[in-house]
Amino acid sequence: MSIARFTHVSQAQYAEAMAGREGFLPIAEIPMPKRATTGSAGYDFVSPLEVTIPAGETALIPTGIRAEMEQGWVLLLFPRSSFGFKYSLRLANTVGVIDSDYAFAKNEGHIMVKLRNPLSEPVTIGKGERFCQGVFLPYGTAEEDEVTAGRVGGFGSTDR
Ligand SMILES: O=c1ccn([C@H]2C[C@H](O)[C@@H](COP(=O)(O)OP(=O)(O)OP(=O)(O)O)O2)c(=O)[nH]1
Ligand SMILES: [Mg+2]
């Protein structure tokens, strides 16, 4: 039973997110996130460009991907364990929470990944390299939950 669909963001959204950068894959060449084996939970996301993260710094990687999913589901982003084990690479926000209504935000639900390199050596993510993974999970709601607001953005759009 599938509960979600990955698609590319529009060319315009991709260009906006990649402004000032060079050498990134054309949007049509970014592969959809894929699971590596039949029993894998994680959909591996590919980096559309080569990124070197200097020691102790962070880098933002726009993935070119959005995820439409049914209500009641969330997509959680995690590092791939190989990058964590080899380079201690982590997400700047520790875990990425991709909400089901983010797909309809003003930026089309463009999934962004911010990585932190905590080591004293630079780390390079290759263009086209699988660098993080997303896991779909169902979530519950509490009683007397009367939220009605719709999502317009991410990264603090609901407060700052
Ligand atoms: O690593 C991440 C984390 C979040 N998001 C997007 C999807 C998510 O639906 C939205 C908001 O994320 P979250 O609710 O975790 O952040 P917030 O700081 O509460 O922002 P907001 O006020 O916009 O909800 O930002 C990403 O693209 N990458
Ligand atoms: Mg939020």
CATH number at residue 62: 2.70.40.10
Q: Is residue 149 part of a domain?
A: no
Residue-wise pLDDT tens digits, 107-141: 999 999 999 999 999 999 999 999 999 999 999 99
Distance CA 59, CA 53 (A): 6
3-state helix, strand, coil in the chain (%, to 5): 10, 30, 55
Q: Is residue 156 part of a domain?
A: no
For 86-118, letters b (16+ CB in 10 Å) and e give: ebebbbeeeebebbbebbebebbbbbbbebbbe
Give nearest CA residue, ligand 1 atom 20. Answer: 156
| Distance of CA 11 from the midpoint of ligand 1 (Å) | 22
Whether residue 10 has pLDDT greater than 80: yes
For the chain, the average pLDDT equals: 96
Count the alpha carbons within 13 Å of 25 in the hemisphere toward its beta carbon.
22
Q: Is residue 143 part of a domain?
A: no
| pTM score | 0.97
Whether residue 160 has pLDDT greater than 80: no
Structural domain boundaries, residue 46? 4-138
Q: Is residue 157 part of a domain?
A: no
Q: Is residue 148 part of a domain?
A: no
Q: Is residue 82 part of a domain?
A: yes
Would you state the pLDDT for residue 94?
A: 97
ipTM over 0.95: yes
Cβ neighbours for 52, distance < 8 A, ≥ 6 positions apart: 59, 122, 123, 124, 125
Residue-wise pLDDT tens digits, 11-47: 999 999 999 999 999 999 999 999 999 999 999 999 9
What is the tally of structural domains in the chain? Answer: 1
| Distance of CA 133 from the midpoint of ligand 2 (Å) | 20
Would you state the pLDDT for residue 150?
A: 84
Ligand 1: residues with CB < 6 A are 77, 93, 96-99, 102, 111-113, 153-159
Q: Is residue 49 part of a domain?
A: yes
* Ligand sitting nearest the alpha carbon of 95: 1
Best substitution site from 93, 98, 104 to test ligand 1's pocket, by max atoms within 8 Å of Cβ?
Answer: 98
* Ligand sitting nearest the alpha carbon of 61: 1
Q: Is residue 94 part of a domain?
A: yes
